[in-house]
Amino acid sequence: MWETTRRVSPEYVTREALNRLKAAINRIARLKRPSGDPLVCSVCHNLIALETTDICADENGQTVHRDCHVQRVINHSKPSAQTQP
């Protein structure tokens, strides 16, 4: 006999659900590393995975994602609208 496949509509994740998941992951990371705080990007405040090569330090010695640091430097180097004649 032929089995009919049931089509299921795709489910979407809300921003609130993603934020709750992020908070739960942060709590778990803090529990796994009780000796100190986990590495958190000082720009975007997300966790930094030690396995990646995307880690650097900013001019104040704070840990940041390389991309976050580059974007912040670019944004700070742009002239503001108030300084233009």
In a domain, 73, yes or no: yes
In a domain, 17, yes or no: no
Tokens of 79: 């002239």
Give the per-residue pLDDT at 4: 58
Give the per-residue pLDDT at 25: 78
In a domain, 54, yes or no: yes
> Which residues form the domain of 67?
37-80
In a domain, 45, yes or no: yes
In a domain, 72, yes or no: yes
In a domain, 65, yes or no: yes
pTM above 0.75, yes or no: no
In a domain, 59, yes or no: yes
User: Sorting pLDDT into bands at 50, 70 and 90, what band is 61?
Assistant: confident
Higher pLDDT, 81 or 19: 19
Domains contained in the chain, number: 1
pLDDT in tens, 16-41: 888 888 888 777 766 665 555 567 88
In a domain, 55, yes or no: yes
